Structure 1
Amino acid sequence: MKTLRNISFLFLLAVAATSCNKGLLDPTNPEAITSADVWKDAKLTESYVSGLYEDVPGWDYNLYNNITDEARSNYPGHTPNQVVIGDWDATSDPMDNWDATYKSIRKINELLAQVDQTPLSAERKESVKAEAYFLRALHYFNLVKRYGGVPLLDKAQAVEDELLVSRSTLEASFSFIETELEKAYAGLPETAVGGKASRWTAKALLGRSLLYQASPLYNVNNDRELWKKSADASLAVITAKKYSLYPNLKTLWLTPGTNQESLFEVQYKMPEKHHGWDALVKPLRLANADAGQCSPVQELVNAFPMSNGKLITEAGSGYDPKHPYEGRDDRFYSFIAYNGAKMKGTTSGPPLQEITLEIYKGGVDYDANPANVIYNTITGYYTVKAVNPENTIYTYAYSSTQPWIELRYAEVLLNYAEAQNEYLSAPDASIYDAVNEIRSRAGITQAIPAGSLSKEQMRTLIHNERYIELCFENKRYWDLRRWKQAVSRLDGKSATGVIITKNTDGSFSYNYQPIDPNPPVFTEKMYFLPIPFAETTKNPNLLPNNPGW
């Protein structure tokens, strides 16, 4: 029989040592375990289910944060800088997830084909199916948001089946995701352990998927009812009152499995699974084999409002251009490290040191040593969002264990507010409530009065709230695409950084300059990614490719 190779060596040793069926497994040779063996043993079946969660994308090294108006990578030859200038195509696409995602879907389909034959209880079989429906929907959503309509494979393919499957329509693809999530909602538990899906996880993902489907890129017929369906799905999560905003933005990502804001997260645990976020974003002074990979741009910095809720350009905001980092909302201080801010870290293990950032001409965290400029910020800012300041063993792609929160309650509130605002002719009180709840958590002292904004003004506010609240969470790139704003906001528009000069009296002067060496490129054809050339070569039924490719 074909050997199942996606079960970890360590797990198999543990199961082999404890399995009630002592004759089934050989602990000295996990490779001898076949796919048929997995479905005969409850522990192996459960391991297979857990392994499906391992396929959910987690922390991205440095791509999506650095290809929009959020941040830039400091290394000129790195992948995001090639994406920014449009140097990618169907043969070399860093955003491509086609092959990996269909491999994950294939494993899910195999589970659904076999689960009824396993020794699991009848109740557990049904909940396993619901988990599979949720994960399959998540994978298909990640395909559809990239490529539009895709082949819909809902069963394990046999050799005698038609393997060269054509693409389904965009509408059919979104409908499939919706059906999957409704089945998942019906079968998943009310609550779930950290890292697993509950019924409210499924409902929240449905709200997100419908939000995308309702958005201009995908909703070419402007079907307003799609906005209503999205709002209803997100509202169901809100009214269930199972989740709420976590009070501390600085530790939101440091409480895996117990965070009331997290609806679904990818978990990490040393030494088996880890990532490199803590090393990735540090200045060279606190670096250990990696540094400066996510320099926030001035456009993002300017988007954070003052603590009174007004944008820095609004009358009465209190913004002082001579002291630009004073009086901002709490998200600014929780997500952005600026000149004069404190930052903790270490270069080679304990003890921790706390530094005051010197991000000015001649400053050690900017250009004091010309040979080290490439390792420091290129915009005048560093990222501290989701950083664990107490981590003492971080290094390149290693030892960070913060969970990747794929779905959190703040997004649910924003998804609801956007969908409800687009559906109605004018924003109702529930939209103000959702937006004000998020802004209140950010320390904004003045709520937006109900009835004070038009639909268009509320849309602008919600878009900006998504920009800052969800920054560095791999949302901005997809938001700009689904709103069809990527061309107007990105193409030919250099991101901006700040050059700070320390004056003789100790004050600072600020000079804002473009930082992209070449004009960014985002053309109309890039709204949908190309189906990879390798896939269309194997399966010509995937052609024609998306327009322009």
Structure 2
Amino acid sequence: MVCQDRKYTIIALAAGLLLITAASCKKTWEDVPLEQFTEEYVWDVEDSLGVKARGFLGALYKFLPEGYNRLGNDLLDAGSDDAISSATGATDVQRLSTGSFNSINNPDDQWNTCYSNIRKASLFLNNFHKVPLNIKMADGSSAKKAWRAEARFIRAYSYFELLKRYGGVPLMGDEVRQVNDDLALPRNSFEEVVNYIVSECDKAVDSSWQDPIEDSRYGYVTKGAVMALKARTLLYAASPLFNGGNIEAGNPLTGYTNYDAERWKLAAEASKDLIDYNKFSLQTEFKKIFITPGNREVIFAKLSGNNKNVETNNAPIGYASAVSQGRTSPTQELVDAFPMGNGLPITDPASGYDPNFPYANRDPRLTYTIFYNGAQWLNRSVQTYEGGLDKPNTNVQQTRSGYYMRKFMGAYESQTGYSDIPHPVMLFRYAEVLLNFAEAQNEYAGPGQDVYNAVQAIRERAGLNPFQLPAGLTKEAMRQLIRNERRVELAFEEHRFWDIRRWKIAEQVMNSPLHGMRIDVSSSGARTYTITQVLAAKFRAPAMYLFPVRYDEVAKNPQMKQNPGWE
């Protein structure tokens, strides 16, 4: 469960950062061989700039979630009802969408990764006091508090990643166990893990730790990121899967053993606190959120160097000037979730939806999220009709649904090729906070004006006209509207996979076939649109609402209980 310790603290993950730091020094020799960083070397009592400690802390960021194409070259969303993998053979992510995984071959098992980061964060928190850091923040306060808050956040975030996958897990606290210690620990309850994450967030959000949100802090944990983690954790805790819908009644590891509406109130208050913090706002243009560094919608993002990876992995395949793999095929279910430009769902007779022109006059976010037939890209129209340049029906990897993913990519509509641009992974952004608040407040108190305001702000930014919601919506009607708004606004950001679980609707949406659009063009140019099945998804309830605990953890630890329905 945890890494074994040695006499010396080995910090392999930080080596790259320390090498970069060393390059700026005049010395041409090493104080200590890089393969043997001792505790004394890292927690240097004379290092007033905290160079070595910063390298250790910086390495923790590396193992935060990657986001794009991280599961065997696929997005996690291709394991939900929003997309499928374009690969024709068996894929890791398809095991998630068809239920063909277990405690040995779970492609999204994050147990070891999270506990490794938890251990390293605790090492930092237990030893950083030795470093005489003499760096000030923009407000004049010591950076020491901010650095400790960063480590505390990363540790709490790792526990959240475990919580949403497995339920209750062993809590280590500040303890860093040694190889000779008793490592056969039982799982803590779901409630205890939630309370621990919230407590750690509260400790990190100290009134003396300022959060000026300067460009120099972009990509670092800030007070806003900590508040966002607390709000998301409480939202999950209040959700049906854990709050009243426990998959095994009376089992404290898999959720609360009772329903309590006050949990929704706590979640709403946590999101409202972040809204009232007034440091973040919606980016004016939806498509610029993901390619404009430092915009005020981004609460916390994992950074990487400029690249063209999202485009080459996921854009349409038929462009000789810019080779792409077209790895992600969005489903018809996701496309149909986008309303018309007037805000009405396509199923509403008054919406103006025309099945013979299915992409006309739609929510502008559709164009910025999904490539459909006729969309503009690299100076020509995308051709996903049968035999088109982007769906040639040859043995090359291509869309299986008639769609490609567009989101997160640069503005290449009129260009002839790709260039290296930022592709930060959005771990928290303000639109999610508004939707978190709207959902929790609606569940607790019904659709008041504050709920309307939060949802309408997002719809207005999207460009819907009118963006206003119908007056007098019931709680149930608002619930469905908010859930759909989350789906289209946060598509491909690793929310849908978890949302359908925490809402406890995965057994409905993932036990139904997933579809795409076949487009045939006649000799006269007439187009025929036919919805076709592209994948027979499968969800085994109730077991698949939580992941199985790794087989080796259960096998070696008699106190480690497996989740219901798994071996």
SS of the residue 2:518 aligns to = strand
User: What's the TM-score once normalised by structure 2's chain length?
Assistant: 0.88
Question: Counterparts of 2:523 and 2:111 in 1: how far apart (Å)?
Answer: 56
Q: Which amino acid aligns with 2:60?
A: L
Counterpart residue number, 2:363: 329
Q: Which amino acid aligns with 1:442?
A: A
SS of the residue 2:96 aligns to = helix
Report deviation, 1:159: 4.0
Q: Which amino acid aligns with 1:34?
A: T
Residue of 484, 494, 498 corresponding to 2:513: 494
Maintained 8 Å contact 1:298/1:379: yes
Q: Which amino acid aligns with 2:12?
A: N
1:443-496: CA deviation from partner (whole Å, max 9, x where unpaired): 1111335742000000000000011111100100100000000001112x1101
Residue of 168, 177, 202 corresponding to 2:197: 177
Counterpart residue number, 2:85: 73
Counterpart residue number, 1:98: 111
Question: Counterparts of 2:260 and 2:555 in 1: how far apart (Å)?
Answer: 35
User: Greater CA deviation, 283-292 or 329-338?
Assistant: 283-292
Report deviation, 1:7: 4.6
Structure 2 segments unaligned to the other structure (5+ residues): 1-6, 135-140, 245-257
Report deviation, 1:69: 1.2
Question: Counterparts of 1:278 and 1:499 in 2: how far apart (Å)?
Answer: 24
Counterpart residue number, 1:348: none
Distance change in 2, residues 1:13/1:370 (3 Å): closer
Structure 2 matches for 1:277-356, cutoff 5 A?
A: 277-286=310-319, 291-344=325-378, 354-356=379-381
Pair 1:214-2:238 in alignment? yes
Report deviation, 1:112: 0.8
Residue of 173, 180, 185 corresponding to 1:154: 173
SS of the residue 1:496 aligns to = strand
Question: Counterparts of 1:33 and 1:337 in 2: how far apart (Å)?
Answer: 49
Residue of 25, 29, 48 corresponding to 2:56: 48
Distance change in 2, residues 1:32/1:168 (3 Å): closer
SS of the residue 1:90 aligns to = coil
Distance change in 2, residues 1:236/1:377 (3 Å): same
1:338-374: CA deviation from partner (whole Å, max 9, x where unpaired): 1111113xxxxxxxxx33111112212113x5233xx
Question: Counterparts of 1:216 and 1:176 in 2: how far apart (Å)?
Answer: 21
SS of the residue 2:531 aligns to = strand
Report deviation, 1:524: 1.4
Maintained 8 Å contact 2:332/2:401: yes
Pair 1:411-2:453 in alignment? no
SS of the residue 1:413 aligns to = helix
Counterpart residue number, 2:538: 520
User: Greater CA deviation, 451-460 or 120-129?
Assistant: 120-129
Distance change in 2, residues 1:275/1:43 (3 Å): farther
Maintained 8 Å contact 2:311/2:324: no
Distance change in 2, residues 1:83/1:432 (3 Å): same
Q: Which amino acid aligns with 2:295?
A: N
Counterpart residue number, 1:89: 102
Q: Which amino acid aligns with 1:4?
A: I
Counterpart residue number, 1:31: 35
User: What's the TM-score once normalised by structure 1's chain length?
Assistant: 0.90
Counterpart residue number, 1:276: 309
User: Greater CA deviation, 232-241 or 304-313?
Assistant: 232-241
Question: Counterparts of 1:370 and 1:101 in 2: how far apart (Å)?
Answer: 41
Maintained 8 Å contact 1:231/1:416: yes
Counterpart residue number, 2:162: 143
Q: Which amino acid aligns with 1:91?
A: I
Pair 1:249-2:286 in alignment? yes
1:410-464: CA deviation from partner (whole Å, max 9, x where unpaired): 000000000000001x310000000000001111111335742000000000000
Question: Counterparts of 1:414 and 1:523 in 2: how far apart (Å)?
Answer: 27
Maintained 8 Å contact 1:151/1:167: yes
Question: Counterparts of 1:282 and 1:528 in 2: how far apart (Å)?
Answer: 32
Pair 1:536-2:554 in alignment? yes
User: Greater CA deviation, 241-250 or 74-83?
Assistant: 74-83
Maintained 8 Å contact 1:39/1:118: yes
Distance change in 2, residues 1:515/1:219 (3 Å): same
Maintained 8 Å contact 2:514/2:537: no
Distance change in 2, residues 1:252/1:542 (3 Å): same
Counterpart residue number, 1:350: none
Aligned residues, how many? 525
SS of the residue 1:47 aligns to = helix
SS of the residue 1:515 aligns to = strand
1:302-348: CA deviation from partner (whole Å, max 9, x where unpaired): 0101111000111211111111101011111111111111113xxxx
Report deviation, 1:244: 0.8
Counterpart residue number, 1:363: 388
SS of the residue 1:152 aligns to = coil
Question: Counterparts of 1:7 and 1:102 in 2: how far apart (Å)?
Answer: 14
Question: Counterparts of 1:460 and 1:510 in 2: how far apart (Å)?
Answer: 28
Distance change in 2, residues 1:152/1:35 (3 Å): same
Distance change in 2, residues 1:227/1:318 (3 Å): same
Q: Which amino acid aligns with 1:538?
A: K
Q: Which amino acid aligns with 1:207?
A: A
Question: Counterparts of 1:163 and 1:191 in 2: how far apart (Å)?
Answer: 41
Distance change in 2, residues 1:27/1:269 (3 Å): farther
Residue of 94, 105, 120 corresponding to 2:133: 120
Pair 1:205-2:229 in alignment? yes
User: Greater CA deviation, 399-408 or 279-288?
Assistant: 279-288
Question: Counterparts of 2:508 and 2:19 in 1: how far apart (Å)?
Answer: 55
Distance change in 2, residues 1:188/1:142 (3 Å): farther
Counterpart residue number, 2:295: 259
Report deviation, 1:538: 2.6
Distance change in 2, residues 1:326/1:450 (3 Å): closer
Alignment RMSD (CA, Å): 2.3
Q: Which amino acid aligns with 1:276?
A: N
SS of the residue 1:176 aligns to = helix
User: Greater CA deviation, 66-75 or 289-298?
Assistant: 289-298
Question: Counterparts of 2:421 and 2:460 in 1: how far apart (Å)?
Answer: 30
Report deviation, 1:74: 1.5
Q: Which amino acid aligns with 1:535?
A: E
Question: Counterparts of 1:297 and 1:386 in 2: how far apart (Å)?
Answer: 18
Percent identity, aligned pairs only? 36
Counterpart residue number, 1:349: none
Counterpart residue number, 2:254: none
Counterpart residue number, 1:12: 18
Question: Counterparts of 1:441 and 1:120 in 2: how far apart (Å)?
Answer: 43
Structure 1 segments unaligned to the other structure (5+ residues): 345-353
